[in-house]
């Protein structure tokens, strides 16, 4: 799976505004459809209070957070699966991302045009889902036709067809109704069989409700509608005011941003939950290295072993891996320093088979 999050939605729902705020990289934003044509890309630090605490307890010269890539993809419209509104180009961009952040307009504003002239989150979500489902249907159908012919080649291929063709039929039946493939209860073997098709409607989705400033603290009717849809799909919902976030992003200092957030009753920017949700949905986790030179958050895939995580830092670390000194973030907080963690016997020596856990603080020993 690609390690990035694509921001999608209908034109004029606030995608580029949210992208600019989350990346602090000004994407073009305007009050007309198809303002964004080529995807904008930005690397975003992952907010992590654990790294802040490590810095407090083990002060370094340099601090490096984990990051996640966000891609601002132009607005899709009805008919995109058939090429409407430069649809083919936009669909190709969606296929290349690992997670979809689907921005849904959940505010009224007569000064900002809606492509359908009215605000209706359920209709807007359905429009996007149908276009992606129809495009996916075409992909599966092509594979189905090709696979069907392979059954003539050998008995082995016939057996393979007995496994794959019913799966393709099941997926196409759902997609033909404009329903995302992720709503199906597919097991790991079935997901593996579909992996190389790169179906857009199998990607994890985070629904991003773009609201006005009055709906940040309490859901409006539009947000409640989105939550109902997300619940059926087992998808996450994040509520953001794109307008407010752009104001926060324009403030120069952290103190000014903190003061602004407190003035509207928020503890943190609404963008932080979005970044964390994208990071988690991508199957990414964090281990830390800490010392007087640098405190750093490293991104790894859940289930990675110690040598694999060592290789993230440098390939030589993996090649010459000997062992890893490991202790947990919770133990660092409990005992207050690495020295006291050692004295308490909470620092462990782990070998090649150790599966690194989210929040581990690690020192790798190697010899090349």
pLDDT tens figures, 291-337: 999 999 999 999 999 999 999 999 999 999 999 999 999 999 999 99
117-141 average pLDDT score: 92
Over residues 205-236, the pLDDT tens digits come to: 999 999 998 888 899 999 999 999 999 888 99
Give the span between the Cα atoms of 147 and 152, in whole angstroms.
Answer: 10
Domain presence at residue 201: yes
Residue 24 per-residue DSSP state? S
Integer angstrom CA distances of residue 7 from 21, 117, 124, 150, 244 = 13, 22, 15, 38, 18
Domain presence at residue 312: yes
Give yes or no: residues 207 and 337 share one domain. no
Within the chain, residue ranges assigned H as helices are: 15-23, 49-57, 87-95, 121-150, 155-175, 188-194, 221-233, 242-250, 254-263, 271-281, 306-313, 315-319, 329-335, 338-343
Residue range(s) defining the domain that contains residue 317: 303-366
Which CATH number do you get for residue 266? 3.40.50.300
Tokens of 290: 């800490």
- pLDDT of residue 126 exceeding 90, the answer is yes
Give the span between the Cα atoms of 86 and 190, in whole angstroms.
Answer: 32
264-278 average pLDDT score: 88
Give yes or no: residues 239 and 351 share one domain. no
The pLDDT > 70 percentage for the chain reads 89
Give yes or no: residues 217 and 349 share one domain. no
- pLDDT of residue 77 exceeding 70, the answer is no
Ranges 7-11, 61-65, 112-116, most confident: 61-65
90-109 average pLDDT score: 89
* pLDDT attached to residue 357: 97
pLDDT band at 21 (very low <50, low <70, confident <90, very high): confident
Domain presence at residue 292: no
Give yes or no: residues 255 and 335 share one domain. no
Tokens of 323: 């062992």
Give yes or no: residues 277 and 358 share one domain. no
Domain presence at residue 206: yes
Domain boundary among 246, 281, 316: 281
Give the span between the Cα atoms of 231 and 315, in whole angstroms.
Answer: 42
Which CATH number do you get for residue 320? 3.10.20.30
Average pLDDT of the chain is 87
What domain count does the chain have?
A: 2
Give yes or no: residues 229 and 166 share one domain. yes
Model-level pTM? Answer: 0.84
Residue 355 per-residue DSSP state? B
Domain presence at residue 229: yes
pLDDT band at 270 (very low <50, low <70, confident <90, very high): confident
Sheet with strand 4-8: strands edge to edge = 40-45, 67-72, 4-8, 99-105, 205-210, 236-240
């Amino acid at each position: 799976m690609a390690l990035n999050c694509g921001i999608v939605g209908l034109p004029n729902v606030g995608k580029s505004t949210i992208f600019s705020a989350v990346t602090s990289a000004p994407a073009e934003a305007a009050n007309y459809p198809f303002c964004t044509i080529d995807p904008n890309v930005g690397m975003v630090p992952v907010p992590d209070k654990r790294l802040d605490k490590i810095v407090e307890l083990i002060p370094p010269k340099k601090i490096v957070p984990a990051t996640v890539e966000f891609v601002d993809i132009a607005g899709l419209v009805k008919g995109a699966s058939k090429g409407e509104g430069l649809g083919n180009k936009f669909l190709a961009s969606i296929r290349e991302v690992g997670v979809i952040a689907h921005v849904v307009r959940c505010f009224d504003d007569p000064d900002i045009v809606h492509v359908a002239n009215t605000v209706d989150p359920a209709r807007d979500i359905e429009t996007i889902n149908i276009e992606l489902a129809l495009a996916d249907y075409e992909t599966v159908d092509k594979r189905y036709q090709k696979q069907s012919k392979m059954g003539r080649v050998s008995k082995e291929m016939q057996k393979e067809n007995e496994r794959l063709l019913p799966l393709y039929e099941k997926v196409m039946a759902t997609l033909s109704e404009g329903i995302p493939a992720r709503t199906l209860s597919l097991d790991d073997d079935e997901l593996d069989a579909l992996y190389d098709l790169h179906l857009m409607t199998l990607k994890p989705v985070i629904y991003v409700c773009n609201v006005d400033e009055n709906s940040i603290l309490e859901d409006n009717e539009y947000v409640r509608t989105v939550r109902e849809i997300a619940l059926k799909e087992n998808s996450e919902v994040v509520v953001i005011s794109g307008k407010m976030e752009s104001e926060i992003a324009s403030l120069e200092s952290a103190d000014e941003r903190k003061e602004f957030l407190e003035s509207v009753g928020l503890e943190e920017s609404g963008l932080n939950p979005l970044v964390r949700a994208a990071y988690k949905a991508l199957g990414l986790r964090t281990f830390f290295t800490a010392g007087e030179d640098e405190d750093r958050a490293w991104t790894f895939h859940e289930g990675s072993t110690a040598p694999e995580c060592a290789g993230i830092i440098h390939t030589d670390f993996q090649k010459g891996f000997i062992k890893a000194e490991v202790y947990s973030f919770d133990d660092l907080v409990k005992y207050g320093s690495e020295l006291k963690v050692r004295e308490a016997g909470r620092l462990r020596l782990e070998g090649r088979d150790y599966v690194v856990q989210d929040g581990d603080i690690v020192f790798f020993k190697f010899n090349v």
